[in-house]
A and B are shown apart, each in its own frame.
Chain A
């Protein structure tokens, strides 16, 4: 089993619903977020191109964050989900430094926090909060090992890209372009 997400930049309007849904679902303190919106503008008026992306932890195959963690708080669970155990985390920030996606932050209670793919929802057969709320249905979640999963199907037929491929982390968030 290999969980992954595909996000359609042709449909995302950058509304940030994914951000606020994650914040309420997971009780993220105000001022912090596990996911966020980025946009890139290219060209000059009126020959313009705009790409909007919902970004978060890439739940990489090759995880510098787990490697650099001195206590083992950062770890990988079934399906390749990268998690942090708050009780084991000392808040040293090594993982934050090593992450090419800036996907982690220090929670005000002193531990490092990040996207969990809402594994508490996945185990109930639900999509992550961000995916389930998206008004444009631009996010797909599922098991890459299952060719019939939504995420496998959409990746098979669309052009895809990943962020910071040069970092060699083998990220598992795919952007449909």
Chain B
């Protein structure tokens, strides 16, 4: 077949049911097939679509999933993960029954339990924790749609410590930076008008490999429209290959480049003067701050030639205001990430792109009403107490902070005593898993609610098998976009095995805790119909259309010419100069700081995404495993020659702290990576044997990320300051 790394090999068949379909006469016809609305749960873009079923031997069976044409997240086209979502339903390694940990002959094992038993066990423990400590000592980690149902139960029980690794391990820094600059967090999908842009600048953001569907689609439209793409990446990413300019930057120096761009745009009068005069605060201070941040200064730091910095800055200036410096999504890199995101926000601001066609549009959405219920109880502690008053500018609980606050310490009066973990594999998502593991040892109870047995499942006291998104109703997706939309997820099949939908699990738990009045509906259909009627639709209507577009009620999509506008910041203006940062003891403007570099024989570990996988949660999906069964380590040919590495040779990695990868990884020798760095896709190297396809396939980057560079502004966990060296044989583990 093909020569490339993505080509599929013909490997033996694992789980194929013969006789499903063969001759032409049996080929199904879309117009005659049954279909059920859904929105995707394979990533968090939440594209809306249709699950098609067809009849096989008299039984309706899930066939395929396709996009809903009315959905602005997907525009009728799913990405490979959404298309392959069927595999999540079919995966025979799924969690099948509730499990309770027990000790037998001195050995810890799980035993199958009934739902009643498992939920009684949890309710009893939660009541015990509430009495002995406080209900606020229960925390939840969630990264999935069912989380909202569990959050209600926990709020009713008496805690607000609900966190998602998508904040401190992912997009938190840019949310704080954009909030402090424009008075708005970006949310998801980000309000980027890529389809109308004239210039798209990507900094470490690898659209196309990171398959944020709507953005990838709009980037393709922008390419058709002749937009200029500028990509800054130490790796020749897919999108770098589609860019007019690829800036192969030295890792960890992005802030210097951003400051030099701001310098050129101000020095050459390329900024949007009327916009800055009307809307911005602190321009003169910025101008004097930036005066010595020249392209010549940045060249020595970044390795990007001054004329390239000038030319790319001019491209942005000429496209202004139809220009987007992409804010990125996973931005926790070096610990100064909020400030790097601030530099990106400031650059967008001086180019006048916020609120402008081809820049950032004003997104509009709506929120669903809650059925009336008694007020939630007063809290003994909040998640803010967990971080001891640090990170005042942060807006959300830190998953990493809650882990730390679960290890008893004299510094705080409450440590967390119980965790509910829903749809997130903390062992892989939170760097430095020593802390996670120590925290778990100190808990009275850990409940894992998931569809798959992942690393964290093995540490649980109780495991609850949630059914997949194709087998359940969930909350209505009420999303912000160019116009508000509602999207329905409904089951296309009965839950397999003894799995249950999240809403049902949460409602049962609420009732067992004596909190039934907070879930005052008979079943989820009643709740959804009530909510939809309040929003101008109904469950019956949504079952037919799947997605409902609503009219905008508030702002226009873009600022009108010269429109007065008050930003949700302290000054009511776009804050180029940040008083709130200064008040907290941080720099008003981003500052370049040099970060550690690899020692001889070590290479910076860079990780990223592949279009057919979402973190580690898809690596066992039979369809998606087929497309990419393992990750490989990208190594420059010069480095490979120096080490005598051969293509597809298996090697072990050891990081700067002596941590060795559990599993080996195959080498991919490619010119597409710098000589001082190596690259791997995140989400492989699973260490749970129950994942029969994913177990031991490839290596796990997370376990090699032991040097965490904390963001002092919001507590983000910078993960790109780790360096690895190679071993052709598994090194014998040194005793710590």
Residues of A within 8 A of B (CB): 10-11, 13-17, 19-21, 23-27, 29-33, 36-41, 43-46, 48-50, 52-53, 55, 86-87, 102, 105, 108-109, 119-121, 124, 126, 132-138
In the assembled complex, the Cα of A147 lies from the Cα of B223 at a distance in Å of 24
Q: Which residue of B lies closest to A106 (CB)?
A: B10
In the assembled complex, the Cα of A62 lies from the Cα of B675 at a distance in Å of 46
Q: Which residue of B lies closest to A113 (CB)?
A: B22
Q: How far is the CB of A116 from chain B (nearest CB, A)?
A: 8
Q: Which of B184-192, B485-493, B597-605, B666-674 contacts A (4 or more CB under 8 A)?
A: B666-674
Say whether B612 contacts A16, CB under 8 Å: yes
In the assembled complex, the Cα of A142 lies from the Cα of B186 at a distance in Å of 40
Which B residues are in CB contact (< 8 Å) with A24? 63-65, 83-84, 86, 623
Known contacts A26-B21, A38-B2, A135-B217; A19 and B13 CB within 8 A of each other: no
Task: Give 6 A-B pairs besides A13-B207, A29-B13 with Cβ atoms closer than 8 angstroms.
Answer: A15-B216, A24-B623, A37-B2, A39-B3, A45-B671, A50-B238
Does B699 reach chain A (CB closer than 8 Å)?
no
Which B residues are in CB contact (< 8 Å) with A36? 1-2, 6-8
Which A residues are in CB contact (< 8 Å) with B29? 120, 124
Which B residues are in CB contact (< 8 Å) with A124? 29-31
Say whether B671 contacts A44, CB under 8 Å: yes
Known contacts A20-B84, A43-B671; A27 and B20 CB within 8 A of each other: yes
Say whether B18 contacts A37, CB under 8 Å: no
Q: Which residue of B lies closest to A21 (CB)?
A: B83
Does B11 reach chain A (CB closer than 8 Å)?
yes
Does B5 reach chain A (CB closer than 8 Å)?
yes
Bitwise interface map of B from 78 to 100 toward A, beta carbon under 8 Å scored 1, else 0: 11100110100000000000000
Say whether A48 contacts B64, CB under 8 Å: no
Which A residues are in CB contact (< 8 Å) with B622? 30
**Other-chain contact of B12, A21, A31, A138 (Cβ < 8 Å):** A31
**Other-chain contact of B66, A11, A55, A133, A136 (Cβ < 8 Å):** A133
Q: Which residue of B lies closest to A45 (CB)?
A: B671
Say whether B611 contacts A14, CB under 8 Å: yes
Q: Which of A15, A29, A43, A121 has the most CB of B within 10 A?
A: A15
Does B23 reach chain A (CB closer than 8 Å)?
yes
Q: Which of A10, A39, A44, A119 has the most CB of B within 10 A?
A: A39
Chain A to chain B contacts (Cβ below 8 Å), 5 pairs: A14-B4, A20-B626, A29-B13, A55-B1, A120-B29
In the assembled complex, the Cα of A40 lies from the Cα of B5 at a distance in Å of 10
Does B14 reach chain A (CB closer than 8 Å)?
yes
In the assembled complex, the Cα of A120 lies from the Cα of B29 at a distance in Å of 8
**Other-chain contact of A45, B11, B28, B236 (Cβ < 8 Å):** B236
Q: How far is the CB of A111 from chain B (nearest CB, A)?
A: 8
Q: Which residue of A lies closest to B12 (CB)?
A: A31
Say whether B242 contacts A10, CB under 8 Å: yes
Q: How far is the CB of B318 from chain A (nearest CB, A)?
A: 22
Q: Which of B235-263 contact A (CB under 8 A)?
A: 236, 238-239, 241-242, 246, 248
In the assembled complex, the Cα of A87 lies from the Cα of B24 at a distance in Å of 11
Q: How far is the CB of B538 from chain A (nearest CB, A)?
A: 30
Which B residues are in CB contact (< 8 Å) with A126? 30
Q: Which of B175-223 contact A (CB under 8 A)?
A: 207-209, 211, 213, 216-217, 219-221, 223
Known contacts A45-B673, A50-B238; A135 and B216 CB within 8 A of each other: yes
In the assembled complex, the Cα of A24 lies from the Cα of B627 at a distance in Å of 13
**Other-chain contact of A14, B10, B77, B238 (Cβ < 8 Å):** B238
Say whether B627 contacts A20, CB under 8 Å: yes
Q: Which residue of A lies closest to B64 (CB)?
A: A24
Say whether A37 contacts B7, CB under 8 Å: yes
Say whether B611 contacts A15, CB under 8 Å: yes
**Other-chain contact of A41, B11, B27, B65, B672 (Cβ < 8 Å):** B672
Does B706 reach chain A (CB closer than 8 Å)?
no
Does B553 reach chain A (CB closer than 8 Å)?
no
Say whether B241 contacts A49, CB under 8 Å: yes
Give the A-B contact count at a CB cut-off of 8 A.
187
Known contacts A10-B223, A133-B83; A20 and B623 CB within 8 A of each other: yes
Interface size for B (C-beta < 8 A) is: 73
Known contacts A19-B627, A24-B64, A87-B23; A13 and B248 CB within 8 A of each other: no
Which A residues are in CB contact (< 8 Å) with B554? none
Say whether A15 contacts B79, CB under 8 Å: yes
Q: How far is the CB of B214 from chain A (nearest CB, A)?
A: 9
Which A residues are in CB contact (< 8 Å) with B207? 13
Which B residues are in CB contact (< 8 Å) with A119? 24
Which B residues are in CB contact (< 8 Å) with A39? 2-6
Known contacts A17-B83, A39-B4, A137-B217; A31 and B13 CB within 8 A of each other: yes
Say whether A17 contacts B671, CB under 8 Å: no
Which A residues are in CB contact (< 8 Å) with B241? 48-50, 52
In the assembled complex, the Cα of A15 lies from the Cα of B612 at a distance in Å of 6
Does B405 reach chain A (CB closer than 8 Å)?
no
Q: How far is the CB of B34 from chain A (nearest CB, A)?
A: 16
Does B413 reach chain A (CB closer than 8 Å)?
no
Which B residues are in CB contact (< 8 Å) with A11? 220, 223-224, 242
Say whether A120 contacts B612, CB under 8 Å: no
In the assembled complex, the Cα of A14 lies from the Cα of B65 at a distance in Å of 20
In the assembled complex, the Cα of A21 lies from the Cα of B76 at a distance in Å of 13
Say whether B1 contacts A38, CB under 8 Å: yes
Does B126 reach chain A (CB closer than 8 Å)?
no
Q: Which residue of B lies closest to A77 (CB)?
A: B24
Which A residues are in CB contact (< 8 Å) with B24? 119-120
Say whether A14 contacts B6, CB under 8 Å: yes
Which B residues are in CB contact (< 8 Å) with A31? 10-14, 16, 626
Say whether A38 contacts B236, CB under 8 Å: no
In the assembled complex, the Cα of A109 lies from the Cα of B9 at a distance in Å of 18
Say whether A13 contacts B7, CB under 8 Å: no
Say whether A17 contacts B79, CB under 8 Å: yes
Which A residues are in CB contact (< 8 Å) with B211? 15, 135
Known contacts A36-B1, A133-B66; A20 and B7 CB within 8 A of each other: no
Q: How far is the CB of A21 from chain B (nearest CB, A)?
A: 5
In the assembled complex, the Cα of A137 lies from the Cα of B218 at a distance in Å of 10
Say whether A40 contacts B84, CB under 8 Å: no
Q: Which residue of B lies closest to A35 (CB)?
A: B8
Does B15 reach chain A (CB closer than 8 Å)?
yes
Q: Which of B140-169 contact A (CB under 8 A)?
A: none
Say whether B79 contacts A25, CB under 8 Å: no
Q: How far is the CB of B226 from chain A (nearest CB, A)?
A: 11
Say whether B672 contacts A133, CB under 8 Å: no
Does B624 reach chain A (CB closer than 8 Å)?
yes
Does B636 reach chain A (CB closer than 8 Å)?
yes
In the assembled complex, the Cα of A44 lies from the Cα of B637 at a distance in Å of 9
Known contacts A24-B64, A86-B23; A109 and B18 CB within 8 A of each other: yes
Say whether B6 contacts A32, CB under 8 Å: no
Known contacts A13-B209, A15-B611, A133-B77; A48 and B672 CB within 8 A of each other: yes
**Other-chain contact of A46, B15, B242, B246 (Cβ < 8 Å):** B246
Q: How far is the CB of A108 from chain B (nearest CB, A)?
A: 5
Say whether A40 contacts B671, CB under 8 Å: no
In the assembled complex, the Cα of A32 lies from the Cα of B10 at a distance in Å of 6
**Other-chain contact of B236, A16, A19, A50 (Cβ < 8 Å):** A50
In the assembled complex, the Cα of A23 lies from the Cα of B248 at a distance in Å of 37
In the assembled complex, the Cα of A124 lies from the Cα of B29 at a distance in Å of 8
Which B residues are in CB contact (< 8 Å) with A45? 236, 248, 636, 671-675
Say whether A30 contacts B236, CB under 8 Å: no
Q: How far is the CB of A120 from chain B (nearest CB, A)?
A: 4
Q: Which residue of B lies closest to A17 (CB)?
A: B80
Which A residues are in CB contact (< 8 Å) with B11? 31
Known contacts A45-B236, A50-B672; A13 and B611 CB within 8 A of each other: yes
Known contacts A37-B6, A44-B671; A30 and B14 CB within 8 A of each other: yes
Q: Which residue of A lies closest to B221 (CB)?
A: A137
Which A residues are in CB contact (< 8 Å) with B221? 137
Interface pairs A-B: 10 shortest CB-CB:
A38-B2, A13-B208, A29-B16, A39-B4, A15-B611, A50-B241, A120-B27, A136-B220, A17-B80, A24-B64
Say whether B238 contacts A52, CB under 8 Å: yes
Bitwise interface map of B from 46 to 74 toward A, beta carbon under 8 Å scored 1, else 0: 00000000000000000111110000000
